[in-house]
Amino acid sequence: MIKRKIIDSFWNVLTYLFSSVGIIVLLLIFIFVFSNGASTLSWNLITSDYNQTTYVLSYKDKYDGGNFEYKCKDDEYFSSYWGIAFTDTVNTEGVDSVIISYIDDHSPLLNGLLDVGNDNYHHLQVNQYVTTALLVGEEGNIISCPARKGAESMAAGFNRGVSITTLNLVDGGGGIRGSLIATLYLILFTLILVLPLGIAAAIYLSIYAKDNWLTHLLKSLIDMSSGVPSIIFGLVGLLLFVPMFNALVVSEGYSILAGALTMTIMLLPIVISTTKEAIDVIPKKIISGSLALGASQTQTTFKIILPNAIPGILTSTLLAIGRIIGESAAIIFVMGTQVQDHVLPNRGGTTLATHIYNLMGLENPNYKLASAIAIVILMSVLILNILVKLIGYRLNKFGRKH
């Protein structure tokens, strides 16, 4: 008796252990991604451009100095001479840098800095990064303030300088706004293409198609194509859709449109099978009830079948969006890996997933930014999955008592 209990509990413990492996691994991924990316993740990251804008500015005239006052926060260092405050920070690429955290309304730097490149006055803004500053002191000595020495020495240097020879500024950079927009474009175009095609195919297969070998072949081909590796779809896109759009003179080389077509053929099997399942669970007696009332097959399809399949269609839409967000292999081939800030449908670009690929392919792989993007992707996929569950729950609540 006792022996059996021991054996039973041994197997039980083993079962629990093995079944928890999946959850533990998932948890570890989350912990890894969050610990690496959480510090980089910010609203600024989402809204700013990937490519930096750099400015070389100068303030040639001798400035007599003001006596600005500002109540510094803990990590801020203020130059009362110029009326500007600096803070130590880490930029979106994960490098220690100095950021302008406050400018006094009467500071000469606000609108008085001359852009060396185009001789225009530059409007200095908070949240721009300072890479280096070269100032001239009272006695004509050069004061150099590189960002790596920190905000404290930067503020001290500014207090001693009376004019600025060069001020190197970096605006934005390392952001994912472009990739985010490209992802949204890709989702939009793909859904516009894949939903009508997929729903029509599902309606044909579950309602109109005769039960013969051709239909069976079609169904098994559709099931099979959902198992094709996505890189093969990427290849098809590269060899077929990219030249096609180029020939139509809407694009040169990679384009989001070609990406959308590639994703369409890749997602069709999923949309077809999910929609078909949703149609197949509609009770036959309701469909024959409609036909017995003298409604035509088309009326039955549009008034009974489609409205009842909408939860299933929504589920397939969300699944498709999830796949688009997560897809990388097929996208790299047809949309390229060059991160774009000005996204156009007929040009290449990166989605969030291929943005990570791009970052990790750089000379210095940027783990922090990659992890931050991974958080964005994981969160969107998580939210989509919750939505799928909620819709499935509503589907059960809505009517189906059969």
Partner 1 sequence: MEKIFEIKNVNLYYGEKHALKDINLDIYKKKVTAFIGPSGCGKSTLLRCLDRMNDLIDNCKVEGSIKYNDKELNQYDTLTLRSNVGMVFQSPNPFPMSIFDNIAYGPRCHGIKNRKALEEIVISSLKKAALYDEVKDNLKGSALALSGGQQQRLCIARCIAMKPDVILMDEPTSALDPIATLKIEELINELKKDFTIVIVTHNMQQATRVSDYTAFFMLGEIIEYNTTNELFKNPHNKKTEDYITGRFG
Give the footprint of partner 1 on this chain (CB under 8 A).
210-211, 283, 285-286, 288-296, 299, 303-304, 308, 398-401
CB 235 within 8 A of CB 307: no
Cβ 316 to partner 1, closest distance in Å?
20
Shortest approach of partner 1 to residue 280 CB, angstroms? Answer: 16
Q: Are 116 and 58 within 8 A, CB to CB?
A: yes
CA neighbours within 13 Å on the CB side: how many for 339?
A: 24
Question: 194 vs 309, which CB is nearer to partner 1?
Answer: 309
Q: In terms of CB distance, is 106 or 401 closer to partner 1?
A: 401
Nearer of residues 32 and 302 to partner 1, judged by Cβ: 302
**How distant is the alpha carbon of residue 95 from its chain centre?**
22
Q: Least distance (Å) from partner 1 to the CB of residue 271? A: 23
Decide if 235 contacts 265 (C-beta within 8 A). no
The rounded radius of gyration (Å) of the Cα atoms in the chain is 30
Q: What single-letter amino acid sits at 11?
A: W
**Both ends of the chain: CA-CA distance in Å?**
46
Least Å distance between CB 286 and partner 1?
A: 5
H or E segment at 113?
strand 113-115
Judge contact between 324 and 236, C-beta under 8 A: no
CA 216/CA 228 separation, integer angstroms: 19
CA dist 147 and 163 (Å) reads: 18
| Minimum distance of partner 1 from residue 190's CB (angstroms) | 30
Nearer Cβ to partner 1, position 162 or 305?
305
Nearer Cβ to partner 1 (60/400)? 400
Which CB atom, from 207 or from 250, has the smaller least distance to partner 1? 207
Min CB(400)–partner 1 separation in Å? 8
